[in-house]
């Protein structure tokens, strides 16, 4: 009989020739456990998903309660489903008043797709501006606004009308005109290797978009739900987007995403044509129940309060001549090294020592540190000790 590992290679699609191939049997809090019972500390959060830790008891309870009531009922937007309604209400309560209309989807890429359509439909314009080194998902619309040719070239032609500006370069903002329906950007770039823009840049961006009647789509798919020390990254920059994209950490480990806007902007999907965006499973009741519980955990357990202190501890403990720079905000950090070989060796060594760490799509010379927000100071010290030791060995 073939092992699960052999069947993984045989029957599940592979996205790279070198998958990590850890075979995890269960997960809890900060830790994943493999078949032999070996424990791994998750410093990546399943790529910025498990902000409240794996299988938070409140999230698990909400899932079980909802499973006992109903699963899928009908396509999104038709029936009044309490888990969606309550989650949308709670999201609106932690957002600026202009972001009150939530369109639930299944993933980050679908949120990107929906937002791009919404911006075109609302403004009646077709041009969209995106940023260099951006990542907004892997579907064809989202790929069209990705700022990395390597991942796009094999799939052309992609969407027309897309142009790129340099992230965090105020001079480029002049390219935003009255022809531009929207500018889409990550509030803090993730896959670029965590790039935090300047306050002044973000405020100039808001001003330029107001002048030209262009919508700002802020992708908070990685930065959302407390990861940077605020509920949403844009709170650091005192600006409000016209459309907000959420996913990843939104569902407490369950798949859900959203694009959120004002009632006025969102209503343009209602007519001419009606059903401007359709999804069967978007806002699945179990995912929404989990999402609401997850948001309540972030608020009730005050998980954001210690994020900045934990960031400082990482920065203090991660001192090594091979570390060129540590970038990021809160628990969305990047350790810049020199080469991909170093990154691979350190990651491998860390995994052998029970610490899961990874790299970035557009920056393979840096290590990703994005643990669940529940990480303790003792765990930070231990993780950093392993990383520093691994750096000594490469």
Q: Which is nearer to ligand PLP, 193 or 379 (CB)?
A: 193
The CB-of-190 to ligand PLP minimum distance in angstroms stands at: 5
Distance of CA 202 to the CA centre of its chain: 19
The CB-of-267 to ligand PLP minimum distance in angstroms stands at: 25
Nearest-angstrom CA–CA distance, 262 and 232:
17
Q: 29, 83, 137, 371: which one contacts ligand PLP (CB under 6 A)?
A: 137
Q: Which is nearer to ligand PLP, 147 or 285 (CB)?
A: 147
The CB-of-191 to ligand PLP minimum distance in angstroms stands at: 6
Give me the 13-52 binding string for ligand PLP, x by CB under 6 A, dash otherwise: ----------------------------------x-----
With contact defined as beta carbons under 8 Å apart, do 48 and 224 qualify?
no
Dihedral angle at the C-alpha atoms of 229, 91, 108, 66, nearest 10 degrees?
120
Residues 104-133 that bind ligand PLP (CB under 6 A): 107-109, 112
230 binds ligand PLP (CB under 6 A): no
> Which of the ranges 29-37, 59-67, 158-166, 184-192 carries the binding residues for ligand PLP, by CB under 6 A?
184-192
219 binds ligand PLP (CB under 6 A): yes
The Cα diameter of the chain in Å comes to 66
Q: 42, 113, 172, 186: which one contacts ligand PLP (CB under 6 A)?
A: 186
> Which of the ranges 168-176, 218-226, 275-283, 308-316 carries the binding residues for ligand PLP, by CB under 6 A?
218-226
3-state secondary structure of 207: helix
With contact defined as beta carbons under 8 Å apart, do 180 and 122 qualify?
no
Q: Which is nearer to ligand PLP, 332 or 375 (CB)?
A: 332
* Count of CB atoms situated within 10 Å of the CB of 65: 13
**Number of residues this chain uses to bind ligand PLP (CB under 6 A):** 15
Q: Which is nearer to ligand PLP, 135 or 314 (CB)?
A: 135
Q: 45, 51, 66, 222: which one contacts ligand PLP (CB under 6 A)?
A: 222
3-state secondary structure of 235: helix
Give me the 279-318 binding string for ligand PLP, x by CB under 6 A, dash otherwise: ----------------------------------------
Pairing of strands 257-261, 325-329: unpaired
Q: Which is nearer to ligand PLP, 183 or 391 (CB)?
A: 183
Listing DSSP states for 241-296 in one string gives: -SEEEE-GGGGTTS--EEEEE-HHHHGGGSSSSSSSS--SSTT-HHHHHHHHHHHH
| Through-space distance between the first and last CA atoms of the chain, rounded to whole angstroms | 39
* Count of CB atoms situated within 10 Å of the CB of 28: 14
With contact defined as beta carbons under 8 Å apart, do 165 and 175 qualify?
yes
Contacts of 25 (CB under 8 A, 6+ apart): 33, 34, 35
> Which of the ranges 75-83, 143-151, 217-225, 304-312 carries the binding residues for ligand PLP, by CB under 6 A?
217-225
Contacts of 239 (CB under 8 A, 6+ apart): 202, 203, 205, 206, 216
To the nearest 10 degrees (0 to 180), the angle between helices 340-352 and 377-393 is: 130
Residues 239-258 that bind ligand PLP (CB under 6 A): 247
Q: 136, 310, 329, 368: which one contacts ligand PLP (CB under 6 A)?
A: 136
Which residues contact ligand PLP (rule: CB under 6 A)?
47, 107-109, 112, 135-137, 186, 190-191, 219, 221-222, 247
């Amino acid at each position: 009989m073939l092992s699960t590992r052999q069947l993984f290679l045989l029957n599940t699609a592979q996205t790279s020739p070198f998958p990590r191939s850890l075979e995890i049997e269960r997960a809890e809090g900060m830790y994943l456990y493999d078949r032999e019972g070996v424990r791994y500390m998750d410093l990546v959060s399943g790529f910025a998903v498990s902000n409240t830790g794996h299988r938070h008891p409140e999230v698990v309870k909400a899932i079980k309660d909802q499973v006992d009531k109903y699963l899928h009922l009908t396509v999104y937007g038709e029936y009044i489903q309490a888990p969606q309604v309550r989650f949308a209400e709670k999201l609106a309560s932690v957002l600026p008043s202009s972001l009150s209309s939530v369109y639930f989807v299944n993933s980050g890429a679908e949120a990107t797709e929906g937002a791009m359509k919404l911006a075109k439909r609302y403004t009646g314009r077709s041009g969209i501006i995106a940023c260099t080194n951006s990542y907004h998902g892997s579907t064809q619309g989202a790929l069209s606004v990705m700022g990395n040719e390597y991942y796009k070239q094999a799939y052309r032609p992609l969407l027309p009308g897309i142009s790129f500006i340099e992230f965090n370069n105020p001079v480029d903002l002049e390219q935003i005109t009255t022809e531009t329906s929207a500018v889409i950007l990550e509030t803090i770039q993730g896959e670029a290797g965590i790039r935090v823009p300047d306050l002044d840049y973000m405020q100039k961006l808001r001003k330029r978009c107001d002048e030209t009647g262009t919508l700002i789509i802020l992708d908070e798919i990685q930065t959302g739900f407390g990861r940077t020390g605020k509920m949403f990254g844009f709170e650091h920059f005192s600006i409000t987007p016209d459309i907000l994209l959420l996913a990843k950490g939104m569902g407490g480990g369950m798949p859900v995403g959203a694009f959120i806007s004002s009632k006025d902007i969102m209503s343009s999907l209602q007519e001419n044509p009606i059903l401007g965006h359709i999804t069967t499973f978007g806002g699945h009741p179990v995912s929404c129940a989990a999402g609401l519980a997850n948001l309540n955990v972030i608020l009730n357990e005050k998980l954001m309060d210690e994020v900045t202190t934990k960031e400082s501890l990482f920065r203090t403990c991660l001192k090594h001549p091979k570390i060129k720079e540590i970038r990021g905000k809160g628990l969305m950090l990047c350790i810049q090294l020199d080469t991909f070989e170093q990154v691979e060796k350190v990651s491998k060594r860390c995994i052998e020592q029970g610490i899961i760490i990874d790299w970035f799509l557009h920056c393979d010379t840096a290590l990703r540190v994005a643990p669940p927000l529940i990480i303790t100071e003792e765990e930070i010290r231990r993780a950093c000790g392993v990383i520093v030791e691994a750096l000594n060995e490469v």
